[in-house]
Amino acid sequence: MSNSSIILPGHCGHPIAALTEGPESGMPVLLAHGGGQTKRAWKRVTAMLAATGFRTIALDLRGHGESAWAADGAYDILDFAQDLVAIAGALDQAPALIGASLGGLAGIMAEGRVAPGSFASLTLVDITPKMEAGGVARVVGFMAAHAREGFASPDDAARVIAEYLPHRPSRKASSGLAHYLRRRDDGRYYWHWDPAFIDGVMRRYAERGDDSDLGHSELGEAAARLALPVHLIRGGSSDLVSPEAAAHFRALVPNAAYSDIADATHMVVGDQNDAFGDAILDFLIRTHPGDIAA
């Protein structure tokens, strides 16, 4: 088993930090987190996949975690998609891709538009081209609220997170929260990601208004062109992907596998990690039975 931190070249050489785990001979599985998260969001999932024989590569998307910020503010979905394609192309075989939220949207664009055939399969975690406006507004609002002014302390940040995720047990700042905060010279704590990322998201959201039906947009068109094995995992209590949105996606991609995780919100990974991990593992084992290291 290998477990190491590495830097991978994204689009035009953009440095992307990653954490690898699992046997070198195992099939590569790329994991792309949601907006505002880091590669550490996948910690329990990567351990499960690595123990099964897959070689996991959990990414910090551009502008997040330990990856480089984009000096030119290049944080469009297409920019993230091109990073995924560049990384996949540098591997010894086409990887399976697991993308949550932002990472999933980038995966749809990467495989459906930028470079079809880059991935061996695509797992989408609570994301489809068609999204509920209220859920999008809640996510964007949370990320924007303290992007510029930061927090007085890690406990202050933990309180804000608890208000955003009221269904989870409230807790004080833990050592894990340190991976999501950076203390600057002014003594305040800031999210680990580039504020220009959320500025761009808010601008595009404002331009679109309350219309979050992207089913006929580039994302919808890209989804309709997906020809690889696809797995949609929805949080049963998600306020971003409704049952209707899931049905719309399944009409676009009729051969897609589908899992609905009970009692999970949009943050499926943290809400029901065991059920989520089992769903991922079952799909990958069925889809890639000959690529698992002994």
SS3 115: coil
Q: How far apart are CA 211 and CA 205, in angstroms?
A: 9
SS3 172: coil
Q: What is the mean pLDDT of each run of 10 residues along the chain (294 residues)?
A: 87 98 96 94 93 97 97 95 98 97 96 98 96 87 89 92 74 71 94 91 64 63 97 93 95 97 78 81 94 76
Identify the pLDDT of residue 156.
93
Identify the pLDDT of residue 215.
43
The burial of 188, by beta-carbon neighbours within 10 Å (0-12 exposed, 13-18 middle, 19 or more buried), is given as middle
Tell me, what amino acid is at 147?
A
Identify the pLDDT of residue 172.
59
Identify the pLDDT of residue 212.
46
Q: Domains in the chain, please, with CATH?
A: 2-132+213-291 (3.40.50.1820), 135-199 (no CATH)
Identify the pLDDT of residue 7.
97
Q: How far apart are CA 238 and CA 216, in angstroms?
A: 22
Q: How far apart are CA 247 and CA 253, in angstroms?
A: 10
Helix-strand-coil split of the chain, %, nearest 5: 45, 20, 40
Strands 257-261 and 230-235: parallel
DSSP for 208-270?
HTT--B-TTSHHHHHHHT--S-EEEEEETT-SSS-HHHHHHHHHHSTT-EEEEETT--S-HHH
Q: Extract the tokens encoding 14.
A: 């953009």
